[in-house]
Amino acid sequence: MLSEDLNRIKRLKAELDAIRPIPEETMAKVMQKFRLDWNYHSNSMEGNSLTFGETKTFLLHGNTASGKPLKDHLEIKGHNEAILDLEDMVKGEVQLTEHKIRSFHQLILGEPYATKALTKDGMETTKQIVPGKYKSQPNHVLTSTGETFYFTEPNLVPLEMEQLLKWFEENQTKNELPTLILAATFHYKFIRIHPFDDGNGRMARILMNLILMMNGYPPVVIKTEEKENYFRALRQADGGELNPFIEYIGQQLIHSLELTLKGANGESIDEDDDIDKRLKLLLGQIEENKKNVVRVKRDPSHVFETVAQSIVPLIEEVISNLPKMNSFFLNISNEITIPLEPSARKTFKNLSQLKESYQTYARNLDDSFPKSITVSISLNGYKHSAEKADFNIQTNLYILFNEYTYTVNSSYPQIIKITLPYSEQISIEQIKTFSKNLLGQWVTMLEAISKS
């Protein structure tokens, strides 16, 4: 009931007024939330393609969303500037005029652009949208029943806008109408005029919120998921029943007042759907090629596949470099070991034995398989100096089978560790790069010993 809503709004407003002045930093946080929600939802309802996360990232950090139209970013930017301008207007107690309304419209829509339209005969055409200018052509719409719903004719817009502002000033001065009724009725009257070629919905919501804020109320945010309820209430108003629309706006105002009171009292102003928005934001910030890369958990089968398809080829590539060291070292050896319970280790003569061992664990679904492999490479007996004959190079490769990923590391911190999920093999390029970098470390040490 409207009377109940008005009483509830009156009580909440009194509670809010009782704790004023609210610290500036506190209100800044509350208003930032309103601004982000308002910018996203009001534009999304009109077809803007930016998600909430993309809107937030763009407004807070200036990062544009890949693949999204520039026009959509400019709309969000302009809408945000209009809200900031509106906030300054409220603080400065500036009068609402036609010039100010056109200025808001120009901020919201930015540069002129062409859009699709229908002729009087229902034929498709295009029309030029000039932000800040009243409509030059009729913008009537076809309803779902095929009937035409008529807005104010272009030549009558200046007169009706003048009358609307006069009506507003008189009622604002008299202070007899509850602010909710004043703001919601202004919204509907503005929509019935439809003074601009585009952006009328966003403008109606901005001007409604301006009236609310001029009277000490927080703004109302019509959420995208409420779009149908909002339009249904507007259609009821078109049929002569304005109260359902006022009641609908009243419910949103109650929510805004409760949210503002929470924030003013130091409570969390995160809403249930805010958590969903934050989750979407986080997901949106993840690059597409990095999403869902971890698909399986460690088990004997996945570890065997990793050993066979990634680890063995990598070790083979590393070992293939050892003959290049024959010209510098007398004794060259390598050893492959795995840990056994409780502290013993098992050594393999070749990679086939290593692969067979893990295959047995996989075949038997035995989860006690070793969770690591160590490859030790020894280069001993430097050939080219009796004084430096004891010079040797000891290199270890460490393969770890973690719960969700496997890693390949070396005893050289300069060489980048490989970390991959079990669903992904080490690429040939990664194998060659790792092996080449390892060989490069040996060459660097040989260069150092030859100069010393």
CA dihedral over 88, 94, 98, 99, signed as positive or negative? negative
5 a known binding residue?
no
198 a known binding residue?
yes
35 a known binding residue?
no
* 279: amino acid identity, one letter: L
204 a known binding residue?
yes
CA dihedral over 363, 366, 367, 368, signed as positive or negative? negative
Structure-block tokens of residue 48: 């803007």
Question: In angstroms, how far is the first alpha carbon of the chain from the final one?
Answer: 93
123 a known binding residue?
no
Residue 204: its H or E element: helix 200-214
Tell the burial category of 309 from Cβ atoms under 10 Å away from its Cβ (0-12, 13-18, 19+): exposed
- How many residues does this entry show for the chain? 452
201 a known binding residue?
yes
DSSP character for 293?
-
How far is 442 from 326, CA to CA, in rounded Å? 12
How far is 85 from 95, CA to CA, in rounded Å? 13
Q: Within 10 A of 124 (CB to CB), how many other CB atoms are there? A: 8
How far is 43 from 72, CA to CA, in rounded Å? 9
Structure-block tokens of residue 314: 């990598």
203 a known binding residue?
yes
Residue 194 annotated as catalytic: yes
In sequence order, what are the beta bridge partners of 446?
none
Tell the burial category of 244 from Cβ atoms under 10 Å away from its Cβ (0-12, 13-18, 19+): middle
How far is 183 from 195, CA to CA, in rounded Å? 18
238 a known binding residue?
no
Label residue 122 left, alpha or beta by phi (over 0 means left) and psi (-120 to 50 means alpha): left
Cα of 369 vs its chain's centroid, Å: 41
Active-site residue, selected from the candidate residues 99, 194, 255, 384: 194
- The catalytic site residues sit at 194
Give the residue numbers of the binding site: 198-205
Give the residue numbers of the binding site for ATP: 198-205
